Structure 1
Amino acid sequence: MLLDIGGTVMTFPRDSLLHDELKGTCLAVLLHRFGDWLLTHGNGTPFVDADPDYFKWLSVKLRYLRDNRIDVKEICEGCPPAFAFYHNRFLAKTDLTIEPQTGDHKSAAFDGFMAAMGAFIDSSVAGGTGGSEVLSVFVEGRSVATADATLDDFDTLKKRFTEYRGPVVHVSADHFYKIVDYIRRIRIAPDAARPLPTSSSFDELLYACEMYGLMEQVYLSMIGKSHSHIKCILRNSYDDCEFETLVQRADGLQGGLLFVIECEHKTRRHRFACHIDGPLIAPSDPKAELRTTCPVTFYSISGAFEGGDGIVQIAVPSNKQWVNVAGTEGAVKNDKGEPTGKVCIANGRLWLGHGKDGPAGDLRRCQQWLERGELPDGKTYRGDFHDGDATLAATVSFTCADMEIYTLQASEGSG
């Protein structure tokens, strides 16, 4: 059977799925019974919005099975981890049979099958959520295709498929393919965990994500909040980044805040994030300060660690997980009792509105440090040490070049 898998056309050994232990899988039923419900691409070739590398692997294994070179167990249980997302869906068992049974389109088995495979079925079919059109571009001579439904929530990337017909030239084929498959998986399984793609050139992968407007999804994957929505409440390119602005916009927000901070280095860009999993609350007394206990985690996005390490998570000691916020006319004091900043996170590991001789109203005036022992094992720190402390920024005290502050809210129906 000729199939187009994510832009790669291949001859797929569909008949091998009729093996006794495979004919009850979702993929067997999809291709043998509902092939007409798939989208088509090019000259009418049935299209499956999935990873072509997985189907290449499966195609080889099915041919080996046909030739009695392997046991079916090697297919069912021998899938490489990189393909598990698709393997667990397509080779899952279904109670629906390849041969139609009277009234089975109204059965629980049919509903279960559509819940599992609806993401690959034309949206014009009842229960199908796979979109109505296949969109494709060429990257380094390779076709990359996906359903319009995959791109619907990502306007910038969708325009690359619909408005700019030339080949992609500023991003490698490998990275472009990875970001398309990343959002494809989000569409197929919106309630599942969304791990970030991996790359030996992670800075280039981030560049591609940023170019195509995917950084908010990257942040959600980074902090493991797959069931959340993210909304920017303050961005220094549009806002004044004054402390009072943050207090006003964070008032009443309960879902936590994510601070994404960037500073320049003479040879590389340092970007890091701090997630506080709780509200930011200012004291009612404008001259006081208020401490709120909540989980705090840091992330190095780029700059402080080797590029191959990807995004690096740094845990904060459990007895330092709190946020101190000053009143609008006050300051948070340091360990010496000196007025120092407007927001102090994790006992000073991040200061916002930090001044040399007292607090600064501008949140972009920052200080960030970590104890040497808090650097994670197995990662290569390439920053400097200052009085024995590491930093995720270019230097401990700095005025950031870019600051974004997001609020996180749980999606409806999530636990």
Structure 2
Amino acid sequence: MLEGGAAAAAGGQPSDAQPHPAPRTGRHSFDRSLHKANAALLAIENAARTARQQLQTKAEAIKVLIESTGGKLELTGGIDGEVEVNVGGRVVGVSRKGLMLDQLRRTYFAHLLLYCVDALPRDEEGRPFLDADSSYVKWLSDEMALVEGADAQGEEHEIELDDTQKEDPSYSFHQELFLTQTTLEIDTPSDNTHMDTRGAAEGNKEGGNKVRAAGEGAGDGGGEGGVMDKISKYVEGYKRAVAELKGAAGELEEFGKAMGPFLRAEDGSAHEVKTVTVLRKRVSTTDATLSQLGTDNLLYKRFSSEIVQGDVPIRQTSVEHFTKVVDFARRLRQEKRPGALVKKPSAKPRYIAQLKKDVEMYGLKMEDIHRPPAPFLTFEETQEVLPRYPTPRPNSSTVRRVTVVTSARWWTSGAYSPPTKVPIPTARQKVMVAGRDASIKVGNANKRGKMAIGCGYLWLCDGSPGPADDVRSMYQWVAKEDLPASYLGVTHDNGDGTLAGDWYCNAKEIAIYHVKSG
């Protein structure tokens, strides 16, 4: 029978860490079971110590992550007064109490100004500088004041863009970015008080029951079973807490990615604040925004000593148009998400022609900029990207839509010795797409899919009865009369063939290309 150090070793724990000898009755048949139970408890204790060490490692990693995203461990400046920040050349005061209201406190904007304000670049007077549209931030600050006032009266005020603002690329961009919701909490000083004491009290509850538990009899109904139930409960609680921690760390990483362009670089050089004065109005941005355009770009030179000295005004365009040009450059640097759309500046119809000239004078194109999509998009990313584009799609989740594709051609190798282009007849140049809760049925079989290309030459999400949950589940065929000569692949009795290795297959990867010419 294993005892003492041997039992500890069986539990995965060093023998010198065992506080008590293994319990014994003196009879081998009973002591064998006691040993197994004791070894299991030692393993649980050892696993708990390991988990605690892992928690410490997680805590240290999250602390590094917080600091790497420009954040402080505690609120900067408390929750009273205002955060005074230079926004694009205009000083704006933002209420800290307003940032703590329910409508704002779980937004990127609140976390940026309450936790990361010290990481923002500084203007020449030492103020935090936010490379954003000053008109939008001033409007947002005023809206926050209205929210504060309504809250004090027991009423509500929603921060929403009006129809005109929704059409303004700068307002819509900053509204979406700054008011992005996050599960990250803003901790007030009272939240941290006695945190360690409360945690220790929770963890030591069982210790307070030690004497009472020792007096319970072996036949007591609340004995071993009750203890094991509690252990299971604690393990589940640990799992939930670790999952919360992992989720919060992920949210913090996303926040860092989104707000990173606003924070200064480690050496400070990439985020030097540049300022010019146009008709007595100061317009500021960062060297990082200007450098992306190249040192030969006219906008870059406008902010350099090559063209202006000190506060010499620039009169080649209006203040409003110049500000729109600078904001367009900002958004080009800040919006790098795959598949995103950076909208060109907008103006009233009578000013569009002149705005276009002003934008192009500074070396930018007056057109929307589409960021290339990621090689593979997750479902969530696809849901975010698709609404940005005016692509034809079902107007209901329960219907399907047929779209004519006028230049569909497939090029493949494998079914032919040399690579061969397979023309698709004009009559088959159609794509059928089903809504979220709809499907497309095969005409002569009990099979369904979510997309049919070439009038059914390629089915995606193919299944029987289907549709399949995986878009890579495919069925592919080509009618005999549409197969070019020298076909080497498998065929049906009627001569129809497939360009894949089999009629039914699961694609390893799917890449989508949109090719335009002319």
TM-score normalised over the length of structure 2: 0.40
Would you tell me which structure has more helix in proportion to its own residues?
2
Structure label with greater radius of gyration: 2
Higher-RCO chain (CA-CA 8 Å, sequence separation at least 6): 1
TM-score normalised over the length of structure 1: 0.49
